[in-house]
């Protein structure tokens, strides 16, 4: 198939959260995970929420009226040092849920719920060179 367009990847992931979520989001995503907060464009500030940088991607926490957390649908974040991340989160009171269903492929992974109940996956591939699976 010949087309005049091409996908370059994911620019950002948006996770929903309830109104007034910003301080709790900063505590979890910036202070606990170490993600850098990004300034939202002036035209979007009135909507609430907060944006973060995670590696080359952005994660947007957006305010949703009548919010219900995503319990199954989730983003998966690639990490280096997954055992250390899991220990860090547990030491700070975050419950982690182990999942060895992809170990045969060489992936270590676990899940957490953010403060709003959204499911997040963290994974690390055994065979990585410069952050890319081999």
H or E, element range at 84: helix 82-91
Query: Residue 129: its pLDDT value, please?
Result: 47
Q: What is the pLDDT of residues 55-64, one digit of tens each?
A: 999 999 999 9
Residues 59, 20: Cα–Cα separation, whole Å: 17
Residues 122, 134: Cα–Cα separation, whole Å: 18
Please list the ranges in the chain whose pLDDT falls under 70: 127-134
What is this structure's pTM? 0.89
Residues 47, 75: Cα–Cα separation, whole Å: 22
Query: Residue 7: its pLDDT value, please?
Result: 92
Residues comprising the chain, all counted: 134
The total of other beta-carbon atoms located within 10 Å of residue 45's CB is 10
CB burial of 89-109 (b: ≥16 within 10 Å; e: otherwise) equals: beeeebebeeeeeeeeeebbb
Which one of 3.90.1150.10, 3.10.180.10, 3.40.50.10680, 1.10.490.10 gives the CATH number of domain 12-133?
Answer: 3.10.180.10
Q: What is the pLDDT of residues 40-73, one digit of tens each?
A: 999 999 999 999 999 999 999 999 999 999 889 9
């Amino acid at each position: 198939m010949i087309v005049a367009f091409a996908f370059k990847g994911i620019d950002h992931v948006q996770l929903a959260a309830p109104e007034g979520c910003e301080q709790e989001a900063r505590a979890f995503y910036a202070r606990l995970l170490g993600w850098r907060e990004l300034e939202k464009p002036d035209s979007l500030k009135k909507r609430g929420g907060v944006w973060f940088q995670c590696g080359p991607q952005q994660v947007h926490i957006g305010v949703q009226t009548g919010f219900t957390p995503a319990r199954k649908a989730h983003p998966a974040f690639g990490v280096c040092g997954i055992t250390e991340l899991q220990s860090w989160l547990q030491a700070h009171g975050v419950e982690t849920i182990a999942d060895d269903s992809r170990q045969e492929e060489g992936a270590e992974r676990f899940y957490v719920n953010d403060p709003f109940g959204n499911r997040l996956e963290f994974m690390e591939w055994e065979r990585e060179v410069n952050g890319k699976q081999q």
